[in-house]
Amino acid sequence: MEFSALETELDSRGADAFVHVGDRFDDDLGYLTRFSGPDRDYAFVYDGEAVLCAPRLFEEQAEQEFSGTVVSAAEQEATAAGERAAELVSGTVLVPQGIPHDAAVWLERAGCELESTDVVSRMRVRKTEAEIDRLRTVQEAAQVGMARAETVLAAAGAEGDSLTWDGGALTTERLRREANAAMAREGVDPAGNTVIGAGETCADLHFTGDLPIERGETVLLDLSPRGPEGYYGDLSRTFVVDSEGGWERRAYIAAERAQDAAFEALSEGAGTVASTVHEETAAEVGAYGFRPDGSPGFIHSTGHGVGMSLHEAPSLRADDELEAGTVLTIEPGVYDPDEGGVRIEDLVVVREEGFENLTDYPRSLVPRKR
């Protein structure tokens, strides 16, 4: 791990140390330490040297995973993670604004003056090639999950309007389990956020319920598995079995063209203004007769950063210039609570010249055996 950004931040702020405290679910800590840690608090300290206050029973694992110095619980008087960090620092200490309050209080009681910093989320924006390789690998596993779900849809039969598969009604939950099992077999974790909507529930961006799937309605699959090193993939496709055209056909073409417009905007590479990508995309949705900024139409942003968090900086609504190495979703969608929802989502990395699509999965409204 490379801590020069922390060094630069300490210098420019005239601060003595950086401290963060949290558990395995804190992605900033995971990024800084590469420590897969426990579900209780531990501390990271940087004051020119990187130190991890390892939790009890996790000393050996911390030594293996963390590149800096590991301090075991037995070496310290204090027990709480924030108190342990406070034993190691003094003066002006930079902390992320969401550091646990008790840790902040321990540091203040020890005489430190706290100032907040967003340096870690800034560090995380620009991925190294090693990080991009991890993201690509997880995205490939997401594609295997999508292929499984698409294959099931392609093989589905029908009883009246309801789809059937493998001897029973085909439901969003059955489809989710098929996709999740396929991803688990690839060595990634479905991560509890496989969203599959059918028909009207496609317009609900976070639907995770169980519904029978019908002929002619949109089936929207959004797969966001997490790999063993903590990086996410993010892939969405929309299918219709026995489509009769109409709304979903128009919405699909709008989403495809909108994604192409985003790619066109991104083809200028590093330096492209983030919000330009969103504006070009939304305008294309509008050109197809859907609302570019509300329901029914395009109701969310074109994309977000992906890394150790599923949603991280930058936002494609921001006016910042995109940096090379930024990994983003490009996910235009068209939603109508009366009709259904269509979204097409790829994961891309911004390069100095142009961009690279980390996704290699066909766009097709009609499901095919993959």
Which positions lie near a copy of itself, rule CB under 8 A? Answer: 25, 36, 38-41, 57-58, 60-61, 95, 97-104, 114, 116, 173, 176-178, 180-187, 189-192, 204-206, 208, 226, 228, 299-300, 309-311
**Residue 290 or 355: which CB sits closer to a copy of itself?**
290
Residue 309 tokens, joined: 């968090």
Q: How many CA atoms lie within 13 A of 6 on its CB side?
A: 24
Per DSSP, which regions of 170-296 are E strands? 195-198, 218-223, 235-240
**Residue 173 or 356: which CB sits closer to a copy of itself?**
173
* Closest to 263 in 3D by CA, of 348, 362, 361, 327: 348
**Residue 57 or 130: which CB sits closer to a copy of itself?**
57
The CB-of-251 to a copy of itself minimum distance in angstroms stands at 19
The CB-of-104 to a copy of itself minimum distance in angstroms stands at 4
The CB-of-222 to a copy of itself minimum distance in angstroms stands at 14
**Residue 38 or 216: which CB sits closer to a copy of itself?**
38
**Residue 20 or 240: which CB sits closer to a copy of itself?**
20
The CB-of-290 to a copy of itself minimum distance in angstroms stands at 18
The CB-of-173 to a copy of itself minimum distance in angstroms stands at 7
The CB-of-336 to a copy of itself minimum distance in angstroms stands at 15
Q: How big is the chain, counted in residues? A: 370
Single-letter amino acid, residue 226? R
Looking at residue 126, the DSSP 8-state letter turns out to be B
**Residue 179 or 240: which CB sits closer to a copy of itself?**
179
- In sequence order, what are the beta bridge partners of 212? 171
Beta carbons of 237 and 151 less than 8 angstroms apart: no
How large is the greatest C-alpha to C-alpha distance in the chain, in angstroms?
A: 72
CA distance 335 to 299: 7
Beta carbons of 298 and 332 less than 8 angstroms apart: yes
Beta carbons of 274 and 323 less than 8 angstroms apart: no
The CB-of-364 to a copy of itself minimum distance in angstroms stands at 25
CA distance 110 to 311: 35
**Residue 29 or 254: which CB sits closer to a copy of itself?**
29
* Closest to 197 in 3D by CA, of 173, 170, 171, 220: 220
